[in-house]
Amino acid sequence: MEKKRKAVALYSGGLDSTLAIKLIQNQGIDVIALHFYTGFCITETKRRRGEKKPDGTPYMNPALKYAAKYGFKLEIVDISEEYFNIITNPKYGYGANINPCIDCRAFMYRKAKELMGELGADFIISGEVLNQRPMSQHLQAMKTIEREAGVEGLVLKPLSAKVLPPTIPEIKGWVDREKLEGIVGRSRKRQLQLAKELGIDEFEQPAGGCCYLTDENFARKYMEVLSTENRITREDLYLLTIGRHFRLPTGTKVIVSRNEGEGNFIKGLKKNYWYFEPIGKGAVAIAKPIEERALTEEEKKMIADLVARYCKTGEGDKINIKIVAPETQQEEVIQGQRLKEETLESWRV
Ligand code: SF4
């Protein structure tokens, strides 16, 4: 009897990757879904911080949610440690913002190949659709990604298989190519029809931009750090995912929370950064001078004024602000005066 074949799938939790898995499972193949955590997935980052959606409900990881709903075996693969080099030094450059999609996909495929070996799988599947996205899903880019990752012939894309060259699982007859799809382009019409046919009655709406790296504001803040500080660290990169960012005229960076979830996260960073909190209700902040030095008295006053600006309680313009020094955790209280909008805007990144 022929061995039962097994595949690993790149799984985002979106409709396309859900359909891809279903199509392959329906051909009697055992599929293990792999969900890669890069550290820059917007929903997952907010979920981990305990932030709430505008309607008050918690964020959910779509891969966890839909793998549970549709009974997929799921492995979460944390690649955030190794991912830093890809963002700062991508061989194939960036897309419209700082999204290194070709390097990123190649990295995920390399990891998927490693896991394929460990899990005893025979090939890889992906929900990619030919010509759906500008940077990584046209034919030439797909070929480059697969060559870079050393997975040529091993990646089956069930949604576009009929318009792509046959892969090893099709050539060897493990998968019937005729039962796969030939979708091309950005229209979702066939995917929605297929969802009905395959019993996928609930799925994530394609929100566009589930990755911070494709976000224009994130890219602008990233470039600002590079041009002002001439370098960027892994920690700087993660800090770009939270808060309102300001640059004082002295060069010191200040990050102010925008909601309770971010406030709690920022509080957790006070061992490493200068920390500012109003005596009363309102946003909290951390500050980081460019060089390794203490904040000057003048800077403390500037940041206290900035934090006072976001304080929701207190009469009048003057608000007491608690400052905690990094490491020593020594506390002091100074008076801040709500900052004028004009100054605030001139510091905003
Ligand atoms: S959008 Fe690009 S950089 Fe972000 S996870 Fe997807 S492929 Fe990677």
Q: What is the mean pLDDT of each run of 10 residues along the chain (349 residues)?
A: 91 96 98 94 87 88 95 95 90 94 96 97 97 84 96 98 98 98 96 97 75 93 94 91 96 95 93 95 96 95 97 84 96 96 97
Q: Whose CA is nearest to atom 6 of ligand 1?
A: 101
Closest ligand 1 atom to Cα of 108: 8
Query: What local confidence, expressed as pLDDT, does residue 208 receive?
Result: 53
Ligand 1 mean position, distance from CA 41 (Å): 9
Closest ligand 1 atom to Cα of 100: 3
Count CA within 13 A, CB hemisphere, residue 115.
25
CA distance 128 to 110: 16
Q: Could you give all domains of the chain from N- to C-terminal order, each with its CATH number? A: 6-197 (3.40.50.620), 242-347 (no CATH)
Ligand 1 mean position, distance from CA 104 (Å): 6
Ligand 1 mean position, distance from CA 27 (Å): 29
CA distance 324 to 331: 5
Write the CB contacts of 291 (distance below 8 Å, at least 6 apart in sequence): none
- Indicate the top mutation candidate among 80, 86, 213 to test ligand 1's pocket, ranked by most ligand atoms within 8 A of CB: 213
Task: Output DSSP code: residue 130.
Answer: B
CA distance 137 to 131: 5
Q: Is 255 near ligand 1, meaning CB less than 6 Å away?
A: no
Q: Is 38 near ligand 1, meaning CB less than 6 Å away?
A: yes
Most distant pair of Cα atoms in the chain: their distance: 82
Closest ligand 1 atom to Cα of 36: 5
Strands (E), the chain: 6-10, 30-37, 73-78, 123-126, 155-156, 244-247, 253-256, 274-278, 285-288, 318-324, 331-337
- Indicate the top mutation candidate among 136, 137, 142 to test ligand 1's pocket, ranked by most ligand atoms within 8 A of CB: 136
Q: Is 105 near ligand 1, meaning CB less than 6 Å away?
A: yes
CA distance 112 to 35: 10
Residue whose C-alpha is closest to residue 61's, from 14, 120, 4: 14
Q: Is 99 near ligand 1, meaning CB less than 6 Å away?
A: yes
Ligand 1 mean position, distance from CA 336 (Å): 42
The model carries a pTM of: 0.86
Write the CB contacts of 250 (distance below 8 Å, at least 6 apart in sequence): 289, 296, 298, 299
- What Cα–Cα distance (Å) separates residue 345 from each residue in 254, 266, 286, 310? 13, 22, 18, 13
